[in-house]
Amino acid sequence: MPEKIYVFDTTLRDGEQSAGVAFTPEEKLEIARQLDRLGVDIIEAGFPCSTPGDLEAVQTIAREVRRPTIAALARAVASDIDTAWEAVKEAAEPRIHVFINSSDIQMAHQLGKDREQVLTQAEAMVRHAAKYTSNVEFSPMDATRADPRFIFQIVERCIDAGATTINIPDSVGYAIPEELGGLFRAIFEHVPNIHKCRVSFHGQNDLGMCTANTLTAIQNGARQVELTINGIGERAGNTSLEEVVMAIKTRKDFLPFYTDINTREIWPASKMVERYSGIQVQWNKAVVGKNAFRHASGIHQDGILKLRETWEIMDPTEIGMPRENAEETLVLGKLSGRHAFKIHMARLGYQLNENQLAKAFAQFKELADKKIEVDNRDLIAIVNDNLGGIDLGKWQLENVQVTTGDHITPTATVTLTGPEGTRTEVAMGTGPVNAIYKAINAIAGVDARLDEYLVKAVTENADAQGEVTVRIEEGTRTWTGRASDTDVIVASAKAYIAAINRMAAVGG
């Protein structure tokens, strides 16, 4: 009989630690609901002691997302653990995840403690967490660079103290698969009480090996894996949920395991996290990249036309990705009604509430008047603009007008509606976009600086929508915004305003 692999998703915790990523509480809840639809077993909803906002977000998820286990991360410190419990205590199945450094280099230079002190602290804090719940996970951080004999000790003592899940993290992406397999085998051999808990693996991608390491851990006894959507996370990222899940599903001949993941929700989850994180999925990303199921070679195209399986080991519809073929050509037009629009978007994996539907449908009707053809990619761009968890009532674009040319100074006139009514500012800049952003800064009263600006066409042809993604900085924080429009100048303004609104919603 195949064994189940439990999927622990840490998009909302380790994924959010990606540089430049800051989810709002509303976005966290929406992502958590999508993870619930996806079928993950455990959602690590955040690190509650980090900020009051994160504590509130985890509490909301614990109250409203009832099927999965909801976990909160805590250092091996009593106050952290107390706060973590406050965050998850209303969950149907709460978990406290306790961690402490375990490699000599981190114990000495980060904690300033020796092995015996760390052993004592870990044991005491796991015991403290176990007073609140029997569902306690323990992670000896940087385990793959630690002395294996010390890992055996700390794992054994923390299991005796009440840990029911032991996670072995490759915290700096140091491990090689063969080496990691040996560590897992040694843990099962040398920790006498290991059978009392579920063993987990958490991989980082610093050497590009986290998916291979995760599959190796499974082959050597791990029955929980810690993953993120699109592989987002610290530095080079975490293990991608979509890669591990589809590897298990595709290679059943070699991996006799299963997960409870509804794979048709992978693509909607990927798009949602891409949208809220502002981190674009690279085109050649496995499973969910734009090129993952595209074929440029004539030989490949010939094979696909004859039999899809000649060059595709997965069917894109298995992950919920809509195929852009004749059968899926958009039949919606400017005379289409709201109901048809809502049903069509549901087919594409989007569940819209009434407010989102109203805004997206209005934008669709406006686009249908401008473009000769509107296809699924246009619809997806429209809906992505209107699925934000942020209340965009802070600042809304009323009008933008630019005067520019090769012999005049670009000048922008921008009108925004905000908390105190409508304001208009005029600004000059080195280019039209720079002028627009100076005017928006003046109206919003912020000192944001543009860190990244990306424009791409949503579809082909001269009437294509332009999708603009911006990343702005204020102080040491970064914020992202994204918007689309057939006028790239308007899209640029909307994207910048989205980032400013995110700044207001998350950073206050």
Cα dihedral 482, 392, 273, 324 sign: negative
Range 489-496 average pLDDT: 92
Separation between Cα atoms, residue 166 and residue 185, nearest integer Å: 14
What is the structure's pLDDT at 323? Answer: 61
pTM comes to 0.80
What residue ranges do the domains of the chain occupy? 3-277, 291-321, 322-386, 396-507
Q: Which CATH superfamily is domain 396-507 in?
A: Alpha-isopropylmalate synthase LeuA, regulatory domain (3.30.160.270)
- Please tell me whether residue 19 adopts helix, strand or coil conformation: coil
Burial class (CB in 10 A: 0-12, 13-18, 19+), 305: exposed
Separation between Cα atoms, residue 132 and residue 81, nearest integer Å: 9
pLDDT tens, 295-348?
A: 666 676 677 677 778 888 898 889 998 765 333 434 566 667 787 788 777 767
Neighbours of 115 (CB within 10 A): 17
Burial class (CB in 10 A: 0-12, 13-18, 19+), 303: middle
pLDDT tens, 195-209?
A: 999 999 999 999 999
pLDDT tens, 279-309?
A: 989 989 999 998 888 766 667 667 767 777 8
Separation between Cα atoms, residue 129 and residue 126, nearest integer Å: 5
Please name the residues in contact with 403: beta carbons below 8 A apart, sequence gap of 6 or more: 410, 411, 412
Dihedrals phi, psi of 402, to nearest 5 degrees = -130, 135
pLDDT tens, 49-95?
A: 998 989 999 999 999 999 999 999 999 999 999 999 999 999 999 99
The average confidence (pLDDT) of the chain is 89
- Please tell me whether residue 493 adopts helix, strand or coil conformation: helix
Residue 1 has pLDDT above 90, yes or no: no
372: β partners: none
**What CATH code would you report for 3-277?**
3.20.20.70
Q: In what order do the strands lie in the sheet with 449-457?
A: 449-457, 466-474, 477-485
Please name the residues in contact with 329: beta carbons below 8 A apart, sequence gap of 6 or more: 375
Read off the tokens for 381: 């761009």
Assess contact for 219 and 212: CB atoms under 8 A: no
Output DSSP code: residue 225: E
